[in-house]
A and B are shown apart, each in its own frame.
Chain A
């Protein structure tokens, strides 16, 4: 077991730190751009600077607007750590750079790569994901939004839901049923859809947090060229699954968990009840200790998973539990902060005496959304038991 990164990488870390110190003033607020939305000029300038220096789009080939470095997981980890620690923006994030670009690199045509990747990295084009439908959640392959062939185009009709940033997006990458005769999984195509196409209607979807983090997108004979299909017609399920893997890894980061744990610790240290610090209350302290154990376990777990990736080994069943365990822990951490605040923990919407701008409640609800989104906890348990433990699938009900 060796936990240092070695001299070559520590030198690289020094370079990153010097870059951040020198250019800190140019950075937009950290976190801006990760939730996507239209990129500001400042963010786009920052993004260009990051790409030039290899701190964004690091492994994307130069001809598509990236930095063109060889993949190196440790350097990627160091960049993440230092940008987080330095409190500067990671540049343009969201579903375009993080989900669509890797997919195009894997499955797109040369023309599609050249046309879509550079403006996506540059923040000129913002993307949303069109997978889930009202009738297709856990059973994603059952999507019914259809694309009917019409000359060189498809006419798309149907409805998508849970679409983040749909209102701000220029483009959608979506799963559309284009081969109605084919089997469930072989009938889908992965299509790039301009959001300004006539026949597309975006409506915000309010959630329990009080925000509208998602949208519904309605399609009524929206005309999209067949040339916008990525990969082969009917290959959409396979292509979408490569992207989902990227998403699940985004949802449960151990660095985020560590930050949340520290923030909860501060709540217990600062808040007092009847003049006594909550940290001096044994019951609350014990709950914090329990979650500290779990936070540490997830930290070392992510180091173990990183090591497996570095060695090109499969982490086995251990690699399948991150989303389930991590999202649950996030929810419990925010729950403890709320309990520590007691009656005041329920204050919201900018109320008098509210703490942390209501973020604890907001995050407590939002993390419940994360437990459900990106594959529900129950679907994760199916995946763990079937792929990880070799247990059989639930048999299909006999046809009636």
Chain B
């Protein structure tokens, strides 16, 4: 029995946080993303050199050949630092898709460029979970038609990983392909660059697996994506809590640091009491993805749904502990608040995700 992160994973967590703190503090992130949402300004290349991009890339293709639990450690650190990066789509979703359904040739051609940070992927997979505004892609005569909303990591993407045909086909599409129009979307969270994609008969660069037979691979993408978003919330919440405690030990009112008032201490204790058990849940979800396949989908759904509940509680409470200063633009705390607010809605709101978990467990009658 060893329900813990390995020494290597702990080392990765610590060194990556140090790296982020030194190389990409919030002041420098802010300068870049205020101009263009989600723009990482070269950070991705630096993170790739650190090894973050190649964590899940097999060693023969220039990566570390690690699993989702290791990627979770990185995702948590990126959330901790509200770092803009195409990590989720590039370093997790594409390697997962190619491991699940790609050919040897595809892995050899795509993954080395992932590991070096020279390739950036965006992911059009929101429609696996929900379709709004008539969104959804279908294949007709081998070409893609339709619309994809809330495409992840779309800013500066070279290629898009695209789910189509009601979650049964998976393709890579060149960002400059004929018939593809990209509309940047602005959200509350400037650290991420979303887009809407309109496909008017777009040729596929490569199919991943056989079109129409990719449901299992799409499920893997959803599970991995949800677990990574949960880890992002975990890291962001942890940082917001730490900032609240730190501030409460500096700020004085009524001749005392506010952290000596039980009203404030209890808010902080409540944040910890939510955060720490949730951390254990995220660990297990990532571990299940790697090693307990029969539980992976359920645990990913629970990790995503639960962190989407407690994360917003923590970032708002941390803001309250800061008082008025927490509400100002200048203090930057809102970057964490907004990051978590966006994570919560992606790849299924908490309610939608729990409904998915109910179906996975056969809770719902088949009457209708």
In the complex formed, the residue of B with least CB distance to A289 is B354
Is chain A's interface secondary structure helix, strand, loop, or mixed overall? helix
Q: Known contacts being A296-B281, A303-B280, A385-B268, is A391 close to B351, with CB within 8 Å? A: no
Q: Is B287 an interface residue (CB 8 A)?
A: yes
- Complex CA distance for A6 and B1, rounded to whole angstroms: 8
Are A300 and B3 interface neighbours, CB within 8 A? yes
Are B269 and A394 interface neighbours, CB within 8 A? no
CB of A13 to closest CB in B, whole Å? 12
Q: Is A397 an interface residue (CB 8 A)?
A: no
Are B287 and A297 interface neighbours, CB within 8 A? no
Q: Is A215 an interface residue (CB 8 A)?
A: no
Are A321 and B272 interface neighbours, CB within 8 A? yes
CB of B4 to closest CB in A, whole Å? 5
CB of B265 to closest CB in A, whole Å? 4
Query: A394 to chain B: which residues have CB within 8 Å?
Result: 260-262
- Complex CA distance for A175 and B367, rounded to whole angstroms: 62
Are A3 and B357 interface neighbours, CB within 8 A? no
CB of B137 to closest CB in A, whole Å? 28
Are A1 and B357 interface neighbours, CB within 8 A? no
Are B280 and A286 interface neighbours, CB within 8 A? no
The segment from B94-102, B126-134, B175-183, B302-310 found at the interface with A is B302-310
Q: Known contacts being A1-B6, A325-B277, A381-B266, is A280 close to B287, with CB within 8 Å? A: no
Encoded as 1 (CB less than 8 Å from any A CB) or 0, chain B from 257 to 271 comes to 101111011101110
Q: Is B299 an interface residue (CB 8 A)?
A: yes
- Most central of B3, B259, B354 by chain A CB within 10 Å: B3
- Complex CA distance for A380 and B363, rounded to whole angstroms: 36
Query: A280 to chain B: which residues have CB within 8 Å?
Result: 364-365, 367
In the complex formed, the residue of B with least CB distance to A74 is B1
Are A1 and B287 interface neighbours, CB within 8 A? yes
Query: A269 to chain B: which residues have CB within 8 Å?
Result: 363
Is chain B's interface secondary structure helix, strand, loop, or mixed overall? helix
- Complex CA distance for A126 and B276, rounded to whole angstroms: 37
Are B280 and A391 interface neighbours, CB within 8 A? no
- Most central of B268, B272, B277 by chain A CB within 10 Å: B277
- Complex CA distance for A277 and B269, rounded to whole angstroms: 38
Encoded as 1 (CB less than 8 Å from any A CB) or 0, chain B from 61 to 102 comes to 000000001000000000000000000000000000000000
Query: A311 to chain B: which residues have CB within 8 Å?
Result: 4
Chain A 341-396 residues near chain B, CB threshold 8 A:
378, 380-382, 384-386, 388-395
Are B3 and A392 interface neighbours, CB within 8 A? no
Q: Is B216 an interface residue (CB 8 A)?
A: no
Encoded as 1 (CB less than 8 Å from any A CB) or 0, chain B from 331 to 368 comes to 00000000000000000000100110110000111010
Q: Is A290 an interface residue (CB 8 A)?
A: yes
In the complex formed, the residue of B with least CB distance to A322 is B277
- Complex CA distance for A393 and B272, rounded to whole angstroms: 18
In the complex formed, the residue of B with least CB distance to A311 is B4
In the complex formed, the residue of B with least CB distance to A1 is B287
Query: A308 to chain B: which residues have CB within 8 Å?
Result: 4
- Complex CA distance for A238 and B60, rounded to whole angstroms: 59
- Complex CA distance for A269 and B364, rounded to whole angstroms: 9
In the complex formed, the residue of B with least CB distance to A9 is B1
In the complex formed, the residue of A with least CB distance to B256 is A395
A-B contact pairs, 27 of them (CB 8 A): A3-B3, A4-B1, A77-B1, A279-B364, A279-B365, A285-B363, A285-B364, A288-B363, A289-B355, A289-B358, A290-B305, A292-B357, A296-B281, A300-B283, A301-B281, A304-B4, A311-B4, A318-B272, A325-B274, A378-B266, A382-B262, A384-B272, A388-B269, A390-B245, A391-B248, A394-B260, A395-B256
For the complex of A and B, list the 5 residue pairs with the smallest distance between their C-beta atoms, beginning with the closest: A289-B354, A381-B269, A385-B265, A293-B306, A300-B280
Known A-B contacts: A293-B354, A380-B269. Give 4 more (CB < 8 A): A6-B1, A282-B355, A294-B306, A321-B276
